[in-house]
Amino acid sequence: MRETIRARGHENVSAAHGSTFEVTTDDFLTPAGDCILGIEADRAPADFDSEFVAACRDADAVVTATFAAGDHEETVTGRGHPDLTFDSDRSAVGRTSDYVDDRTVLVGAEFAAEGFDRELVAALADGAELTVTLTVEHDD
Q: What is the pLDDT of residue 139?
A: 66
**CA-to-CA separations, 79 to 1, 3, 35, 120, in angstroms, rounded:** 14, 15, 19, 23
pLDDT digits (tens, 9 = 90+) for 6-35: 999 999 999 999 999 999 999 999 999 999
Q: What are the phi and psi torsion angles at 86 (to 5°)?
A: 55, 35
Tell me the CATH number of domain 2-138, given options 3.10.20.600, 3.90.1170.50, 3.40.190.10, 2.60.120.630: 2.60.120.630
Give which of 71, 40, 41 is closest to 134, Cα–Cα: 41
Give which of 5, 63, 61, 64 is closest to 37, Cα–Cα: 5
pLDDT digits (tens, 9 = 90+) for 47-80: 999 999 999 999 999 999 999 999 999 999 999 9
pLDDT digits (tens, 9 = 90+) for 82-112: 999 999 999 999 999 999 999 999 999 999 9
Q: What is the pLDDT of residue 138?
A: 84
| pTM greater than 0.85 | yes
Q: What is the pLDDT of residue 21?
A: 98
Residue spans of the domains in the chain: they are 2-138
What is the chain's mean pLDDT, rounded?
A: 97
